[in-house]
Amino acid sequence: MDLKQEVEKLKDLQGNIRGEGILTDIEYLRFKGKEGELDKIEKKMNQLGCPIKFAELKSMEWYPAWWDVLKILVLKDVFNWTDKDIFEMSNFAPKVSFLVKMLVKYFISAKKSFSQSPKYWRQHFDFGELEAHEFSEKEKKMVFWVKDYKIHPIMCIVCAGYFLRIAQFVVKSEKVNIKETKCVYKGDPYHEYIIKWE
Amino acid sequence: MESSLEEKYQKAREDLGDLEFYIKDFSNFLPLAVCAVNPLGMIIDFNKSAEKLTEYFSFEIVGEFLTTLFLEKEKIEKIEKEIENIGFFSGELTLITKKEKKIPVSVWVSSRKDKDGSYIGYFLAFSDISEIKALQENLEKKVKDRTKELQERIDELERFHDLTVGRELKMLELKKEIKRLKYAHTKRGR
């Protein structure tokens, strides 16, 4: 992957993300014992034209969404991570998220969480939209549509990992899984994620 | 002059940032182990003191059920069912650390509600009482030992008492016998 080319495309992106979205992945690096590599990641991002300073980020402050995408691409590049690693990292994120702690009212049951998810999305992004499309207690499934969110294909994996963890917080089951069944990068009008549990 | 909307927005952002730092600092400082639990019984937040006492890192335990941490699983489930209505609970439980060490703890549970009054879970604080328990057990043992020691002394005294009183009675009887014999002898001599 040519990161310079990716940055040129990413810089045109409009929209912002809460600092929390970036900081949770930094916590993941600590969890993986890669804290010492943070300077390297920051330096590489700076060289690519992103003026990020991890130590100065604030959870609730807004930052350009492309910084977050670039951070993930750089992590993938530096650590030679696979999509599975990225999925694992984003699945970890809600565990250390300040927003999750603060917005615990959204995680009181699967149904409540499902209905409140569009609000939760807006706590993280000032663009795109999450639509709580279908919830079935009987079929044990939830369907979400993510609209107007075409920033980079890697974010499909990030969303999947994150959504899954949120579901794991509110579904009393050891077996919860997620699948992206529609994707804007495959010609669909939106991303569709189906979460099922046993 | 009234602040502009942009100034108010900037101020609100700064206040939010300050609040965030305050909450994080306070949570890190708090010497009491505290966790936040959702209505399903799943741990959502875990402070530094809780990490220290349980030996679990926050990211290892967040997302797990609270019952993972305690020996009395049924009691926890009962508390979880009742806490929404009773609002507060305190008692003693046994914490199981990551290294499977069992620690007696005092727990305080307080239900949480959102601004609309809907139940959103509870806070649970716990503190290690193993030293107090050990002290209490030590004290109880000491009291037991002293009681046993005293009982032995009492038994000894009673035996002594029985012995001395028995001898006194015998002496009295003998004195009476001597007196009776003296009287009989005097009478015979006349």
For residue range A72-130, what is the model confidence (pLDDT) as tens digits?
999 999 999 999 999 999 999 999 988 888 877 777 888 988 998 999 899 899 999 99
A108 touches chain B (CB under 8 A): yes
For residue B57, list chain A residues with Cβ-Cβ distance below 8 A.
Answer: 31
Comparing B28 with A194, which gets the higher pLDDT? A194
Shortest alpha-carbon distance between residue A102 and chain B (Å): 10
Residue of B nearest to A105 (CA): B120
Chain B residues whose C-beta is within 8 A of a chain A C-beta are 13, 16-17, 20, 24, 36, 38-40, 42, 44-45, 57-59, 62-63, 112, 114, 118-121
Structural domains for chain A: 3-96 (no CATH), 99-197 (3.90.1520.10)
- B39 and A105: CB-CB below 8 Å? no
Comparing B169 with A87, which gets the higher pLDDT? A87
For residue range A39-65, what is the model confidence (pLDDT) as tens digits?
999 999 999 999 999 999 988 889 999
For residue A101, list chain B residues with Cβ-Cβ distance below 8 A.
Answer: 36, 44-45
Does the reported pTM lie above 0.80? no
- B38 and A104: CB-CB below 8 Å? yes
User: Which residue matches tokens 């990292």?
Assistant: A89
DSSP codes, chain B: -PPPHHHHHHHHHHHHHHHHHHHHHHHHH-SSEEEEE-TTSBEEEE-HHHHHHH---HHHHTTSBGGGGBS-HHHHHHHHHHHHHH-EEEEEEEEE-TT--EEEEEEEEEEEE-TTS-EEEEEEEEEE-HHHHHHHHHHHHHHHHHHHHHHHHHHHHHHHHHHHHHHHHHHHHHHHHHHHHHHHHHHHH-
- B63 and A165: CB-CB below 8 Å? yes
For residue B118, list chain A residues with Cβ-Cβ distance below 8 A.
Answer: 105, 108
Which one of B10, B16, B18, B45 makes the best mutation probe of the A interface by having the most chain A beta carbons within 10 Å?
B45
A57 touches chain B (CB under 8 A): no
A31 touches chain B (CB under 8 A): yes
- B58 and A104: CB-CB below 8 Å? no
**pLDDT at site A103:** 79
Given a cut of 90, whether residue B50 has pLDDT beyond it is yes
How confident is residue B23, by pLDDT bands cut at 50, 70 and 90? confident
User: Residue A45 is encoded by which pair of tokens?
Assistant: 């991002």
Residue of B nearest to A57 (CA): B17
B113-118 mean pLDDT? 86
- B59 and A96: CB-CB below 8 Å? yes
For residue range B65-89, what is the model confidence (pLDDT) as tens digits?
999 999 999 999 999 888 988 999 9
For residue B11, list chain A residues with Cβ-Cβ distance below 8 A.
Answer: none
Given a cut of 80, whether residue B189 has pLDDT beyond it is no
For residue A32, list chain B residues with Cβ-Cβ distance below 8 A.
Answer: none
Given a cut of 80, whether residue B190 has pLDDT beyond it is no
Given a cut of 90, whether residue B6 has pLDDT beyond it is no
For residue A99, list chain B residues with Cβ-Cβ distance below 8 A.
Answer: none
For residue B17, list chain A residues with Cβ-Cβ distance below 8 A.
Answer: 58, 60-61
For residue range A144-192, what is the model confidence (pLDDT) as tens digits?
999 999 999 999 999 999 999 999 998 988 899 999 999 999 999 999 9
A9-15: long-range contacts (C-beta < 8 A, 24 or more apart)? A10/A66, A10/A69, A10/A70, A10/A151, A10/A152, A11/A49, A11/A66, A13/A64, A13/A65, A13/A66, A13/A69, A13/A151, A14/A127, A15/A64, A15/A65, A15/A125, A15/A126, A15/A127, A15/A128, A15/A151
Q: Specify which residues B124 forms β-bridges with.
A: B35, B109
Given a cut of 70, whether residue B2 has pLDDT beyond it is no
